[in-house]
Amino acid sequence: MTAGPTGAADPGGAPHPAFTVDPFTDGCRTVWDRREHALLGVSPGNGYFNVALLTRLLGWLCAEFARVDVVVPDSALVHTYLALGYEPQRARRKARGETNVLRNRVDRAWRAGGGPREGDGLHRMSDLAAHPVYRERLAEAERALREDDALAGTCAEMSREVLRARGHTGPPAPERVERATRYLAAELPFFLASADIFDVPSSLNFYHQPLPLAELLYAGKSVLQPPPWQGYATIRPAPADPRPD
């Protein structure tokens, strides 16, 4: 279902580097075809989101979509540090420092590419936590994690991987996994309702590699069901064009 490389020229005529888009379902393809809104969630501690890549990606997103919003998961990251055994005050301090660095990196990259445009936005997750739609969907997600074995199992395995990637050795205790899973719970409202949170007709969420949690939701294998105006896709840099000898 890969859409293939797409690119668009900026006002000066230079094409933005192409990216390959792979909508997960036919419904997700419809959302991609509409190109009304893209939500970019950036992951703290992920070396993929460097300034060069972000500059290319944000320039391409702005050329393709009517509106782009970026979310930095500052408040959610606290749960990861608590799961790693940090004391609460130190966990908040570590999360704040790491996400400030990431937010500044996104800001530099976006401005280097000529954006953001009027209507685009760069947000900390904590700034959106009081939004009524976000709060409703978060409560729904927390209930589902208690009742939906497939959802809980997927989130638990992803959380174990995060803890391992951040240096935890050996099988993490169940209470650590449960705490780490709250990071993913905080992200679930955006997969379910980013269109409503940002007041747009349709919204495409994406990541640069397969994301088990999103694929579970969009495959209809969870009690949580995204509406038709929500979409999910894998978007990654297109392979470089082969050059003639």
Q: Answer yes or no: is pLDDT of 4 > 60.
A: no
What mean pLDDT comes out for the span 147-163? 95
DSSP one-letter string for 154-220: HHHHHHHHHHHHTT--SPPPHHHHHHHHHHHHHHHHHHHHHHHHTT-S-EEEEESS--HHHHHHHTT
d(CA 65, CA 237): 17
Q: How many CB atoms are closer than 10 A to CB 229?
A: 20
Nearest to 70 by CA among 58, 80, 79: 58
Residues 6+ apart with CB under 8 A from 76: 125, 182, 183, 186, 187
Q: How many CB atoms are closer than 10 A to CB 240?
A: 8
| Cα-based distances in Å from 173 to 18, 78, 124, 159 | 43, 18, 30, 12
Is 43 a residue of the active site? yes
What mean pLDDT comes out for the span 225-232? 97
| Cα-based distances in Å from 40 to 23, 88, 232 | 15, 28, 11
Nearest to 106 by CA among 128, 96, 126, 121: 121
Which one of 43, 194, 203, 222 is the catalytic residue? 43
Given a contact cutoff of 8 angstroms between Cβ atoms, the answer to whether 198 and 161 are in contact is no
81-98 pLDDT, tens digit each? 999 999 999 999 999 999
Report the range of poorest mean pLDDT among 2-11, 29-38, 202-211.
Answer: 2-11
Superfamily of domain 21-237: Cyclodipeptide synthase (3.40.50.11710)
104-140 pLDDT, tens digit each? 999 999 999 888 999 999 999 999 999 999 999 999 9
Q: What's the whole-number average pLDDT of the chain? A: 90
Write down the domain spans for the chain: 21-237
Tokens of 156: 């638990």
